[in-house]
Amino acid sequence: MSELTATHFLTLSAALFIIGMLGVLIRRNVLVIFMCIELMFNAVNVSFIGFAWEQHSLVGQTFALFIIAVAAAEAVVGLGIIMALSRRLDTVDIDQVHELRE
């Protein structure tokens, strides 16, 4: 509790990432799974920016910026897939979606 160190934000990043991972594994609603993936992206961003802060470098921030851009693209395509799914199969339950398996 004396000074802000790398351990603080790495712990925060690990906690956020694992909560997101648990959400992906436990939940069955595709929309909530999507939100948990965004949470994991965010956890990785915290890591990158924390390391950039520690190392006096801006490469980590650059990387985080690209991650945000890619997450936006992923969000657009993912939500489009969810829309198509709910229109085609009338469900957003991940367990009901097994067309590829059959």
Assess 21 for contact with another protein (CB under 8 A). Answer: yes
Angstrom distance (rounded) from CA 40 to CA 48: 13
Assess 32 for contact with another protein (CB under 8 A). Answer: yes
Neighbours of 17 (CB within 10 A): 18
**What x-and-dash track marks residues 39-68 binding another protein by CB under 8 A?**
x--x--xx--xx-xxxxxxxx-xx-xxx-x
Nearest-approach distance from CB 101 to another protein, in angstroms: 17
How many residues bind another protein (CB under 8 A)? The answer is: 75
